[in-house]
Amino acid sequence: MIIEIGHYALVLALATALILSVLPVIGARRGDAAMMALAPTGSLVLFALVAFSFGVLTWAYVVSDFSVANVWENSHSLMPLIYKYSGVWGNHEGSMLLWLLILVFFSALVATFGRNLPDTLRANVLAVQAWISTAFLFFILLTSNPFLRLDPAPAEGQDLNPVLQDLGLAVHPPLLYLGYVGFSVCFSFAVAALIEGRIDAAWARWVRPWTLAAWTFLTAGIAMGSYWAYYELGWGGWWFWDPVENASFMPWLAGTALLHSALVMEKREALKIWTVLLAIMTFSLSLLGTFLVRSGVLTSVHSFATDPTRGIFILCILGIFIGGAFALFAWRAPMLKAGGIFAPISREGALVLNNLILTVATATVLTGTLYPLILETLTGEKISVGAPFFNMTFGLLMLPLLVAVPFGPVLAWKRGDLLGALQRLYVFAGLALAAGLAFFYIQNGGPVLAIFGLVLGFWGMIGAFADLWYRANFAKVGLSVGLKRLAGLPRSVFGTAIAHFGLGVTVLGIFAATTFGTETVVEMKQGASVDIGGYSLTYDGLRDAVGPNYTEQRGHFAVSRGGVQVADVWSSKRLYTARRMPTTEAGILTFGLSQLYVSLGDAMESGGMVVRIWWKPFILCIWGGALVMMVGGFVSLSDRRLRVGAPSRKAKPVKARLEAAE
Amino acid sequence: MTRKQKRLAVIAGGMSFILVAVLLVMFAFSQSVAYFFMPADLAKADVKPGTRIRLGGLVAEGSVKRSQGSTVSFTVTDGTGSVPVTYTGILPDLFREGQGVVTEGAFDAASHGFVADSVLAKHDENYMPKEVADRLKAQGVWNEGQGNQGQGSGTKGTATR
């Protein structure tokens, strides 16, 4: 019974979303306050209905109600409770419901915290959010209903795909969706601005916190997914340039660009049209990602089911929203007035360079991801575009940006001084060079080109603090006054420095792990040992073990350094009983920022075991840097000026002036 | 420089960056794209030794042999032709005889065998690698429901460990 109520709540949600899609827009057009007031209330009701529906599905998973087809297909009564929860989004239908839940959650947030928005803008934004909600509600109810029943109810479920039974996966989709779907708010703001034909610095101030929040969550989600692939798939790689990974990476790149261009628009009222376009593109890439992952055109862990009607349905949603938004843009954008002018060498100029590089890099990733699909559709020829392509194009194109990052914050707005910036930064560059060379020396060398990468990483890390250093001006005013000055700075300055530092850490991790990492594949018999990364691993045979819903053979390795045993690693081959599916559980041992990674292969007839061992120095910097970027995002988000709902002093007068000008 | 010249310089700079990107993409496509072949195609197409390709098909029953170390040899077949493949490393968990596989590598000039440096099998038991499934279905060698029947032999495959 409760399942049917959950289903019914979703139908009611569709009705609500339909009303919400139409009335507030008409209200905003006619200046009817009552119709516009419908938007916030309706958004909250919509959220309540979808949340209830999601709760019902979760409940069905927790109590293992196998009369629900979706639960039967993806759960098992013996599965640990945490995976019963995460199983809700470990399948197509449930993950689409999660997508929708987060979408209406963001609408509800805009409704709650957007009290100081002009009435018409808020009504339009919430209506555009409701259009997206309507499309996805139709999609769920017509093609991916999670509430379908089975009669008679089976006694036991088919279990969740074993590679998805993992803590990393339990949190990866919600984080990723918070990012993906968070950009819908920017999209809605952009479309609403186009509908109204008016845009100003206040608009950018409202949009920036949402962009920042979405970007922060997307950063976390991508890092989590990458770490999950690293330890769960047992291949030792952390990024495969798989189309599914690219699908989440492209909105991140575009979102990063949006974050920076919104800054220019907020501070200087320049790049208006470009920012609106970027907001539309970012969410379009999120939708494209959803299409690529959910439609079954790509095969991966993410494509749970391949039902062609679903693919066509999402493609239609994609076409309507992207096409519609771009058409609206083409029609209305000329009405938006261009803003302030600036010299090429200036903070704005640096941010334009950031935008140029990021969007071009996004375009290359998009090309590499879609080209095989398009070629196959047109000619039937099948090709694969892999890591070499992306390293050559994306990797090279991003290098100038990494060099330029520390320059941005030290350049003045409007008209900057490159020579002055160089004078300010050469000490930092020297430090980075020294650090890179020292690092290279300690690691006993490698390809000389690696020095460049290491220096680049340190340059990003050290250079990130140049702005803070000169703002505090420790050299002139001494420590105590300098610290006081720092305390007086807005938090967003620290957010910028922390996020840029995190980028440097990630870059350093990528170069260090790829240059100094070693790997070996050996056949090991009991008692045999292998030396790698300064450690010695001794194989101590296989043991049988039993988990809640799997059986496994665990290989034990004793790790020693200089003849003294320092640790143990277990690496195992699991067989999940319900699906008869084997998985490899890598044994990972962390030493500081480096890791030893042991993966079991096949047993040999001679009684030995094929073992693949990696030494991955400083690999944790890759995700650690992403974590630091995330912290930077949150610090920036806590800035008083950006706090959602804080009164914006400048907003009203600016707009009044613009209206007068029109 | 006047303002107009400055603006032109900026636009020229941006355009040349985009041009570099386009050239880089075209160059990378010509260098690093691997075409997909099945054994039957190789008779028609002339693939030179050393050219990176993807080779897909079914792992022939009884063809998997492990020599010393971690080198494995097996035959990839599609019902019409078959190609011997050697691979050094750890095979994916779901690599089984009679199941679909995609390997990436190049033909060796000396032995005329295919030397793979990566082997991809399925992520779960429900599907074949897409390229392989499309073609085998077209040829009628395999169809969608067969994946589940294959599980019996799959369990046998894992039991040999």
B131 touches chain A (CB under 8 A): yes
Tens-place pLDDT, residues B3-12: 778 778 888 9
Q: Say whether both B21 and B90 belong to one domain.
A: no
Measured from the Cβ of residue B31, the count of other Cβ atoms closer than 10 Å reads 11
Chain B: nearest CA to A31, how far in angstroms?
A: 42
Query: Could A392 and B31 be called an inter-chain contact, meaning their C-beta atoms sit closer than 8 Å?
Result: yes
Question: Which residue from B14, B68, B88 is facing A356, i.e. has the nearest CB?
Answer: B14
Instruction: Return d(Cα B118, Cα B53) in angstroms, integer.
Output: 11
- Nearest CA among A256, A254, A270, A263 for reference residue A204: A263
CA distances from A45 to A107, A120, A195, A439, A550 (A): 11, 20, 25, 57, 43
CATH number at residue B57: 2.40.50.140
Candidates B70, B52, B57; CA nearest to B116 is B52
Does A389 sit within 8 Å of B90, measured CB to CB? no
Phi then psi for A554, rounded to 5 degrees? -105, 125
Query: Residues A340, A341, A345, A348: is their CA dihedral positive or negative?
Result: positive
Residue B136 Cα, gap to closest chain A Cα (Å): 14
List, for chain A, all residue ranges whose pLDDT scores fall below the cut of 70: 296-308, 338-339, 641-662
The pair of structure tokens assigned to A656 is 């009044």
CB contact under 8 A, B91 and A602: yes
B155 touches chain A (CB under 8 A): yes
Strand partners, B107: B114
B54 touches chain A (CB under 8 A): yes
Helix axes A33-62, A119-143, angle to 10 degrees: 40
Cβ contacts of B68 on chain A, cutoff 8 Å: 523
Interface test with A, best of B3, B41, B70 (most A CBs within 10 A): B70
Asked if residue B75 and residue B11 are part of one domain, the reply reads no
Q: What is the pLDDT of residue A130?
A: 97
**Beta-bridge partner residues of A529:** A538
The interface predicted TM-score (ipTM) is: 0.81
The residues that bridge with A595 in the sheet, in sequence order, are A590, A616
Q: How far is B134 from chain A (nearest CA, A)?
A: 11
Question: Any chain B CB within 8 A of the CB of A590?
Answer: no
Segment 74-93 of chain B within 8 Å of chain A by CB: 88-91, 93
- B27 and B92 housed in the same domain: no
The residue type at A472: A
Contact list in A for residue B89 (CB cut-off 8 A) is 521, 601, 612
**Burial label, B4 (beta-carbon count in 10 A; 0-12, 13-18, 19+):** exposed
Q: Rounded distance, CA A458 to CA A463, Å?
A: 8
Same domain? For B5 and B58 the reply is no
**B151 touching A, CB under 8 A?**
yes
Q: State which residues form the domain around B28.
A: 1-32
Nearest CB to A382 within list B27, B66, B131: B131
Same domain, B28 and B60: no
Report the 3 state secondary structure along chain B.
CCHHHHHHHHHHHHHHHHHHHHHHHHHHHHHHEEEEECHHHHHHCCCCCCCCEEEEEEECCCCCEECCCCEEEEEEECCCCEEEEEEECCCCCCCCCCCEEEEEEEECCCCCCEEEEEEECCCCCCCCCHHHHHHHHHHCCCCCCHHHHHHHHHHHHHHCC
**A300 contact residues in B (CB cutoff 8 A):** 123
Number of domains forming the structure of chain B: 2
Angle at B105 between CA B101 and CA B109, to 5 degrees: 130
Shared-domain flag, residues B129 and B148: yes
Q: Is the pTM of this model over 0.95?
A: no
The pLDDT of residue B38:
84
A487-499 CB burial, b ≥16 within 10 A, e <16: eeeebbbbbbbbb
Question: With contacts defined as CB-CB under 8 Å, which chain A residues touch B36?
Answer: 381-384
Residues B62 and B85 in one domain: yes
Dist CA A137 CA A659 (whole Å): 38
- What pLDDT does residue B130 have? 59
**What does the pLDDT read at residue A662?**
33
Structure tokens at A283: 């969410």
Boundaries of every domain in chain A: 1-159, 405-516+621-629, 518-616
Pairing of strands A550-561, A535-546: antiparallel
pLDDT at residue A621, rounded to an integer: 95
- From A442, A501, A518, A505, select the one nearest A466 (Cα to Cα): A501
Give the helix ranges, DSSP H, for A79-118: 81-86, 92-113
Reported as half-sphere exposure (CB side, CA atoms, 13 A), residue A559 has a value of: 22
Our CA-based measurement puts residue B111 at a distance from the nearest CA of chain A, in whole angstroms, of 23
Helices (H), A155-298: 167-196, 201-232, 243-268, 272-294
CA A52 remoteness from chain centre: 26
Q: A-B interface: how many C-beta pairs under 8 angstroms? A: 125
C-alpha torsion angle, residues A34, A36, A38, A41 (rounded to 10): -120
How far apart are the two ends of chain B, measured CA to CA in Å?
75
- Quick check: A595 and A588 in contact, CB under 8 A? yes
CATH 2.40.50 at A1-159, yes or no:
no
Which residue in chain B has the smallest CA separation from A599? B90
Q: Which residues of A touch B124 (CB under 8 A)?
A: 161, 163, 301, 579, 581
> Is A602 close to B68, i.e. CB distance below 8 A?
no
Q: B 8-47 residues with CB below 8 A of A?
A: 9-10, 14, 17-18, 20-21, 24-25, 27-29, 31-36
pLDDT of residue A109: 94
CA-closest candidate to residue A263, choices A348, A188, A185, A370: A348
User: Considering CB atoms only, which of A521, A580, A584 is closest to B70?
Assistant: A521
What's the gap in Å between the CA of B10 and the closest CA on chain A?
A: 7
Contact A56, A3 (CB under 8 A): yes
Tokens 């090279």 label which residue?
A396
Q: Is A572 on the interface with B (CB under 8 A)?
A: no
- Please tell me whether residues B11 and B46 are part of one structural domain: no
B21 plus B41 within the same structural domain: no
Structure tokens at A84: 């019963």
Interface contact A389-B54, CB threshold 8 A: no
Residue A388 Cα, gap to closest chain B Cα (Å):
6
B52 has pLDDT over 90 = no
> Inter-chain contact B94–A581, Cβ cutoff 8 Å?
yes
Amino acid at the residue A326: F
Q: B26 and B45 in one domain?
A: no
Which of A201, A197, A185 minimizes the C-alpha distance to A29? A197
Predicted local confidence at residue A99, as pLDDT: 95
For chain B, say whether A58 makes contact (Cβ under 8 Å): no
Q: Taking the CB of residue B117, how many other CB atoms lie within 10 A of it? A: 12
Hey, are the CB atoms on B24 and A603 less than 8 Å from each other?
no
Tens-digit pLDDT profile for residues B108-148: 888 778 998 888 765 444 445 556 666 666 666 555 444 33
Same domain, B43 and B115: yes
Question: Same structural domain for residues B70 and B128?
Answer: yes
What is the chain A residue with the closest CA to B8?
A: A344
Check residue B148 and give its pLDDT.
36
